[in-house]
Structure 1
Amino acid sequence: MGTNTKRTFIGKRNAGSSGEQSKATSSANATLNEALDAFIHAKEAEGVRPRTVENYREHIRYLADYLRTKHGWETAYANDLTPEIIRSYIKYLRTEKPRYEYAEGRKDKWVGLSVNTINIRLRTLRTMCRFWAKEGVTETNAMETVKNVVGDTIEEVPGISDEGIDRLLASYDVNNFAEWRDKVLIMLLLDTGLRITEAVSLTVDNVDYHLNTAYVPSQVAKNRRMREVPLSREVAKLLSQLHEESCGYFGESPFIFHNAYGEPFTAGAFRTRLNRRKKRLGLSRLSPHMFRHTFCRNYLLNGGDLFTLQKIVDHADIDTTRKYVQMDDEHVRQQHNKYSPVRRLLKRK
C-alpha cells in the first residue's frame, strides 16, 4: 500500500471492455488529489462557497504531507486510506504535530493540535470518505469506524478582558486613517458579534442609521440566512463618519471599510494587522474571532438572554452559543458576588 503501482478493481462481472468497467477502474485508482477534485466538483454543484473549498484543499494537504513525511507516500491513493492509517494520523496530530509550525515569528512551537482542531479535520475527512465510498471512488469508507477525539475537558473559547480591550483601543492613533479604521472595526465587532467577513463586507446600503441596524445579506452570512443585527447609536455614528471620510479620500463607494489605497478592506488584511498589534502590545493571543467571543460573554453578563444572543450571532445550534460564553474564573466570582442567594438573604435582615 502507498506505492505508485496501479491496481485493478473488478466492478461489474463480465463487463468486458465496456465503459462501465473502465469507469470503475479509473475511480479505484484515483489519487488523493483526484478524489478531492471529484468531491469538490460535487460540492461546487451544491453551491458551497470558495472559502469552504479552500478548507477542503487545506485539510487534504495536511493529510498528504503526513503520508509523505511519515509513510513515504509520494503519491497517495484514496483507496489506500484505512482506519489504521487515519488513526496513526490522529495520533500524530495529537502528539507530534507542531502547533505553530507555519506561524511567522513564533518561537513557542507547542506540540500537538487542540482537540477541536483535530475534530474539524476529521469532520472534513469523514464527509469526503463517505462521498468517495458512495460514488465508487473507494471500495470502503475508511472513516466509518473512526471516532472523534475526546478531550479531558471542554476547551474554553477565549475572550478579551475589559482591561485588555481598554489597552488595545488606547493603542490606536486615530490621526492615522488605517488605525482609526481598525479601531472602528473593532468597535463594530464588540458591539454586534459579527463575523469578521460579515463586518468588512458591510456596505452603506446595509446600515439603517435611523433604526441603528445592520443587515447581513444571505450571500455573506455563514448560514446563508439574512439577518438584522442591532447597532448602538455610538457605533452607527462611527460607521457613518468613516464612510463619509473614505468617500472624501477615494470617491463614492458602497463599502464602509477600505484599505489605505481605497480598495475594499479584507478579513485577511485585518488579521495580519492584528497580529502586528499583538506583538507590539506583547499579547499572547489576538484574533478577530476573539471580539465575537467577547461580545457573546459580555452580552450575557450585562443581562442579555441566551436565545436572543443565538439569533444575533446566527448560531444554528444553541449549544454553539453556550460554548462561546463560558466564563473565566474572575467572571464567575463577579457573578456569584452579584447574585448569591445568601447575600440577598442577609441584606433583608
Structure 2
Amino acid sequence: MANWATYIKNFQSFLKIERGLSQNTIDNYTFDIEKIVLYLSDNQINENPISISEETIQQFIYEISKTINPRSQARIISGLRSFFNYMIFEDYRNDNPMELVEIPKIGRKLPDTLSTDEIDKIIGAIELNTDQGERNRAMLETLYGCGLRVSELISLRISDLFFEEGFIKVKGKGDKQRFVPIGNLTQKYIDIYKTSVRSHLDIQKGHEDTLFLNRRGKQLTRAMVFTIIKDLAVKINLKKTISPHTFRHSFATHLLENGADLRSIQLMLGHESITTTEIYVHLDRRHLTEVMNAFHPRK
C-alpha cells in the first residue's frame, strides 16, 4: 500500500499549502482515506488511488455502513470525494469514483442554545473566591461575548487584545486571522483576571503571552474547558447537553434575534461561506417574518 502513502502525503501538502487548512482538519481527511486503505488490505484487494474502481468504492461504503452511523459515513464519503477531486486536479485520474456514491440523509443536528438567563446562571455559579474562578468567569464571558471556538479561546494571547480599539485578534481555522469586537464587560473581567490572578502565576517558558493559563502556568487544554462547563451545568441542574461550542452558537443566535445581519455575524464567527452561518443560526420562519414586517417597504 506504499502507493497510497505517497498520494496521501501529497494530498496532505495540497490541503496545507493550497487550501490553508489546519493540521486538525488535515488529520481528519487522512483518517478517512486510511479507512479505505485498511479495507483494501484486509480484503487483499490490490488497487491504488489511480486504478480503484467505482464498484470497489461502493462495496467499501456498503461495508462501513454496517458499523458506523450515517453522520460518520457522510464525513468519510465527503473526505474521499475531496481526495479523488485532488487526484483529478493533479491529472492522476480523469474521473472521480465517488461521483455516484450518495451521501446518506442525516438530520441537521443543531446544538442546544442557551438563553441569556441560562448563561447568567452558569457564570453566576462560578466560585469567585478561587483563582480558577476569576479565570473561568473571564473565559466564559469571552466565549460568549466574542463567539469564539474553544481552540481560539485557549490560544488567545495578551498581544491579541486591543482593548482601546474594542477588538481582539483571533486565529481561526487554517490559521486565518480576524478581528472580533469585545464588549466592556468582557474586557473588565479579563483585566481582573490578569491583574489579580495571572500576574501571580509562575508562568512556564513559551506561555508568557498566552492569556488563559492553568495553575501550573501553561496553556489550558480543550478538555479542561469542556470539564469546567460540564461541571457548571451540573451545578445549576441544567438539563441541556452543552459544550464550549454552545456559547458560540448562543452568541450567533442571540445576535440574529436582536437584529444583527448575517454578514456581520459571518465575519465575527470567521465563516468562509455565509451558507455555514445560515445553518449555524438556524433561521426560523418567525424571525424572517419579523424582519420582513420591519424592513420591507411594502409591508
TM range (shorter): 0.7 to 0.9
Aligned AA (2:249): H
Q: Which residue of 2 aligns with 1:227?
A: 178
Q: Which residue of 1 aligns with 2:27?
A: 54
User: Do the aligned partners of 1:133 and 1:139 also contact (CA within 8 Å) in 2?
Assistant: yes
Write the deviation string for residues 269-312 of structure 1: whole angstroms up to 9, x where unpaired.
32354456566757552222221111100111122222221221
Query: Secondary structure of 1:229's match?
Result: strand
**Aligned equivalents of 2:100, 2:59: Cα separation in 1:** 14
Q: Which residue of 1 aligns with 2:280?
A: 324
Gaps of 5+ in 1: 1-28, 98-111, 342-349
Aligned AA (1:78): N
| Match status 1:293 vs 2:230 | no
1:20-31 matched pairs, under 5 angstroms: 30-31=2-3
Aligned AA (1:262): G
1:87-166 matched pairs, under 5 angstroms: 87-91=58-62, 96-97=67-68, 112-114=69-71, 117-133=72-88, 135=90, 141-151=96-106, 154-166=108-120
Q: Which residue of 2 aligns with 1:248?
A: 200
**Aligned equivalents of 1:209, 1:190: Cα separation in 2:** 17
User: Do the aligned partners of 1:39 and 1:128 also contact (CA within 8 Å) in 2?
Assistant: yes
Q: Which residue of 2 aligns with 1:104?
A: none
Shift of 1:120: 3.4
Q: Which residue of 2 aligns with 1:346?
A: none
| Match status 1:35 vs 2:35 | no
**Aligned equivalents of 2:231, 2:6: Cα separation in 1:** 38
User: Do the aligned partners of 1:31 and 1:77 also contact (CA within 8 Å) in 2?
Assistant: no
User: Do the aligned partners of 1:242 and 1:256 also contact (CA within 8 Å) in 2?
Assistant: no
Report the TM-score when normalising by structure 1. Answer: 0.67
User: Do the aligned partners of 2:262 and 2:277 also contact (CA within 8 Å) in 1?
Assistant: yes
Matched residues, percent identical? 21
**Aligned equivalents of 2:232, 2:61: Cα separation in 1:** 34
Distance 1:201 1:142, change over 3 A: same
| Match status 1:304 vs 2:276 | no
Give the number of the structure with larger relative contact order, counting CA–CA contacts within 8 Å between residues 6 or more apart. 2
Equivalent pairs counted in the alignment come to 286
Report the TM-score when normalising by structure 2. Answer: 0.77
Shift of 1:224: 5.0
**Aligned equivalents of 1:339, 1:44: Cα separation in 2:** 40
Q: Which residue of 2 aligns with 1:86?
A: 57
Q: CA RMSD in A?
A: 3.6
Distance 1:72 1:234, change over 3 A: same
**Aligned equivalents of 2:125, 2:104: Cα separation in 1:** 40
